[in-house]
């Protein structure tokens, strides 16, 4: 391998490593990824403000296109959540809608040009005297494992709350002691039940993270293709094809996260679950 090829390979590795680095404060477990927090809050605030504006202009006589579209989304989510959670509950429907929209918005950040926000962060950082090479910013909150685990753990805590509220503390604990082998194998039942319960948030978090992390990485590889000007048409073709396909992925992953969250809540309230 020539020195030029080695240099290109090193530059490519550094490019990917730089884009996979979060803007963080703190160390280890207690580190806070500020880019994930800021973007997720901004997207949530933007969705709330947009819904408020549409709500102020809500009309039943001559609804506009935006209102019709939002009503279709609300009806779709309501039908899905009602089918999975037939009991009347004032929280499940709004929770499912919130999860679907918020996760979709965070996933949609993966369709923004991969270098746009990191370069903007470097530009802003240079105003404050920071070295642009040490300014990091990841634009996809759901490609951050801490974000997907935080949402999955929140759903897990809700399943515990719903389970206790539906069955009572005594019956809820009894379910872990007697399922699936009866009361005489209570220690084994507890271990198996704990493994089953812990696997739910882990799989929920890893599924979303894995798909978005892979999509983010593919966009970086496509960006590397354009390092040579004569490869720009190829980069454009790859970028368009992957963007079209990835749009389906981010929509499906938002739907799956919402769907599984409602399913876990329904299982927690079901008296046949244990």
Report the SS3 class of residue 32: strand
Buried b (16+ CB within 10 A) or exposed e, 79-106: ebbbebbeeebeebbebbbebbbbbbbb
Cis status of the peptide bond prior to 167, with omega within 30 of 0: no
Instruction: Say how far apart CA 261 and CA 192 lie, in whole Å.
Output: 21
203 classed as catalytic: yes
Q: Which of 146, 193, 207, 270 is catalytic?
A: 207
Please say whether the beta carbons of 93 and 81 come within 8 A.
yes
Instruction: Say how far apart CA 152 and CA 159 lie, in whole Å.
Output: 11
Q: Which of 81, 107, 211, 254 is catalytic?
A: 211
Please say whether the beta carbons of 164 and 217 come within 8 A.
no
65 classed as catalytic: no
Strand partners, 161: none
What's the token pair of residue 168? 């009572």
207 classed as catalytic: yes
Residues noted as catalytic? 203, 207, 211
């Amino acid at each position: 391998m020539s020195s030029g090829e080695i240099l290109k390979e090193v530059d490519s590795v550094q490019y990917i490593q730089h884009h996979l680095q979060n803007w963080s404060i703190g160390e280890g477990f207690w580190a806070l990824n500020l880019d994930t927090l800021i973007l997720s809050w901004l997207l949530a605030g933007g969705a709330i403000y947009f819904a408020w504006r549409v709500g102020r202009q809500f009309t039943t006589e001559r609804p506009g296109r935006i209102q019709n579209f939002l009503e279709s989304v609300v009806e779709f989510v309501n039908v899905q959540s009602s089918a999975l959670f037939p009991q009347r509950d004032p929280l499940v429907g709004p929770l499912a809608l919130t999860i679907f929209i918020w996760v979709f918005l965070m996933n949609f950040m993966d369709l923004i040009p991969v270098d746009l926000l990191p370069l903007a962060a470097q530009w802003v950082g240079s105003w404050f005297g920071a070295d642009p090479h040490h300014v990091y910013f990841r634009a996809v909150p759901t490609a951050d494992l801490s974000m997907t685990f935080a949402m999955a753990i929140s759903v897990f805590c809700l399943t515990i709350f719903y389970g206790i509220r539906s069955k009572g503390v005594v019956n809820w604990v009894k379910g872990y002691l007697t399922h699936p082998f009866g009361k005489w194998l209570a220690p084994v039942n507890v271990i198996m039940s704990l493994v089953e319960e812990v696997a739910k948030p882990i799989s929920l978090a890893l599924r979303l993270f894995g798909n978005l992390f892979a999509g983010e990485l593919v966009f970086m590889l496509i960006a590397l293709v354009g390092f040579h000007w004569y490869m720009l048409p190829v980069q454009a073709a790859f970028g368009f094809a992957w963007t079209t396909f990835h749009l389906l992925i981010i929509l499906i992953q938002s739907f799956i996260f919402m769907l599984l969250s409602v399913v876990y809540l329904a299982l927690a309230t079901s008296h046949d679950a244990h």
